[in-house]
Amino acid sequence: MPTAASKIKVVIFDVDGVLTDGTLWFFPAPKQDGATSVTAGEVKADKSGYEIVTVNTFEGKGFNAHDGVGMSLARLAGLKLGIITKRVSEAVAMRARELRIHHVFLGQDNKLFALDKILAAERITAEEVAYVGDDIIDLPVMRRVGLAVAVPNARKEVRDEADVVVDHHGGDGAARDAIEYILRAQGKFEQVLQRYLAESTSEELRGN
């Protein structure tokens, strides 16, 4: 395993295509009294033309439980976790709170800005960060951090520049793969696994 993984203190993830399979689910919100339906004329692109702005909808996402366990293993190993994503989604915010993600940046056009915020907060260098991405918007961060990780469903340009391409696709355990890769490189995986199992057993016994 490369020595780069042994230096990692923070692991940052993109969301769509990494923590999910990239599918975007939009559901119409229940109409409030007096509200009118959205018409095509009310749906417009923002000034960048990148994101579509709509109203009266909410967004759903599907996350993988294996990734959730991976986040727990990372925290037990002393790693900090982060999310940087272009989209603004209450589903992501909810999942991040549930998993106790340390750094959450939603609606980030410039992901390097968010990376700098994390580096300053943790007082570390970019070499101590791993980033997991899948699309070209992730490349600026991947080029700067110590360990660039791609999912197999990533765009070819992203896979070509990654230090590591994990086995599982986004939304199917890719984040778990990345975390375990780092923990094994740091010689912590078996110890953390046993600690996780011990704490899980203790919690179950306390609940009986």
- Concatenate the DSSP letters of all residues of 127-179 into one string: GGEEEEE-SGGGHHHHHHSSEEEE-TTS-HHHHHH-SEE-SSPTTTTHHHHHH
In which band, very low, low, confident or very high, does the pLDDT at 207 lie, cut at 50, 70 and 90? very low
| Whole-number pLDDT of residue 26 | 67
Tokens representing 138 are: 């992730």
| Whole-number pLDDT of residue 37 | 47
Domain boundaries, the chain: 3-23+62-207, 25-59
Q: Are 130 and 150 in contact (CB under 8 A)?
A: no
Chain position carrying tokens 């600690």: 195
Mean pLDDT over 12-33 rounds to 78
**Over pLDDT 90: what percentage of the chain?**
64
| pLDDT tops 50 at residue 74 | yes
Which distant-in-sequence residues (6+ apart) come within 8 Å of 170 by Cβ?
A: 16, 17, 18, 19, 20, 21, 22, 134, 151, 153, 154
In which band, very low, low, confident or very high, does the pLDDT at 1 lie, cut at 50, 70 and 90? very low
Mean pLDDT over 94-117 rounds to 93
CATH top-level class of 3-23+62-207 = alpha beta
Mean pLDDT over 99-114 rounds to 93
| Whole-number pLDDT of residue 121 | 97
Give the alpha-carbon dihedral of 67, 68, 73, 75, to 10 degrees.
120
Rounded distance between C-alpha atoms, residue 5 and residue 129, angstroms: 9
pLDDT (tens digit, 9 = 90+) per residue, 152-206? 999 999 999 999 999 999 999 999 999 999 999 999 999 999 999 998 776 555 5
Mean pLDDT over 93-98 rounds to 89
Rounded distance between C-alpha atoms, residue 105 and residue 37, angstroms: 31
Mean pLDDT over 72-99 rounds to 91
* 3-class state of residue 59 by DSSP: strand
Rounded mean pLDDT of the chain? Answer: 85
Q: Annotate 120-129 with b (16+ C-beta within 10 A) or e (fewer).
A: eebebebebb
Give the alpha-carbon dihedral of 144, 86, 133, 7, to 10 degrees.
40
What is the 8-class DSSP label of residue 29? Answer: P
